[in-house]
A and B are shown apart, each in its own frame.
Chain A
Amino acid sequence: NAGVTQTPKFRILKIGQSMTLQCAQDMNHNYMYWYRQDPGMGLKLIYYSVGAGITDKGEVPNGYNVSRSTTEDFPLRLELAAPSQTSVYFCASTSGAFPYEQYFGPGTRLTVT
């Protein structure tokens, strides 16, 4: 199993550009999450999904959109990138079986200038 994979690993965007961060898992997990991690600030939940076709907002959803057309994929879309979106983005998934731990991808480091 590859686990949770994310692409790209690094990206530099100009203000106003758009991009999609890709996330895929091969563990057949229903639950998937997108977090952002800012220096010294822990992780903040952006969006999450409980299954294909079902998504919901987390703590900091503004400026982002998601879709979940398959169990495996959970892309995160940034529209009109702003410097405040400079961060490291992590995708995670869980099966919902005890001990309920989330499996994390390696992250995407995004800089908006």
Chain B
Amino acid sequence: SQELEQSPQSLIVQEGKNLTINCTSSKTLYGLYWYKQKYGEGLIFLMMLQKGGEEKSHEKITAKLDEKKQQSSLHITASQPSHAGIYLCGADKAKSGGSNYKLTFGKGTLLTVNP
């Protein structure tokens, strides 16, 4: 079965600092999803990457997919307290719904941003 490993498990940064979270897959990535979760709440979709070399940005968050390495990175520029939460990567097991859009998730990265 597909395994997703996230690093680091937790991260504490000072407001204004940049940071990167990685997600590495044991198998080919057909679709890689990034979600954010605030404590006690559900997951919020950030972005989805499909193609090798693809890069997407949303406000100050940029995600990249390196298909050769079966890895994705999430980069936050000039972090703010509002960025704090748990970031989870999820992977689709097949192309375009071949697995009924079921996702395998990493264990998450807990981000704390100190003002």
Contact = CB atoms under 8 A, between A and B. Distances in A.
A101 B48 contact: yes
A56 B100 CA distance: 11
A59 B45 CA distance: 22
Contacts of B103: 43, 45, 102
Interface in B65-114: 88, 90, 92, 96-97, 100-108
Contacts of A59: 1
Report, as a range, how many residues of chain A touch the other chain. 20 to 34
Contacts of A50: 100
A107 B42 contact: yes
Interface in A61-109: 90, 92, 94, 96, 99-107, 109
A41 interface: yes
B45 A101 contact: yes
B48 A99 contact: yes
B48 A100 contact: yes
15 contacts: A4-B42, A35-B105, A40-B9, A42-B105, A42-B107, A43-B43, A43-B90, A48-B100, A50-B100, A59-B1, A92-B43, A101-B33, A102-B45, A102-B101, A102-B103
Interface of B: 1, 4, 9, 31, 33, 35, 40-45, 48, 88, 90, 92, 96-97, 100-108
Interface of A: 4, 31, 33, 35, 40-45, 48, 50, 56, 58-59, 90, 92, 94, 96, 99-107, 109
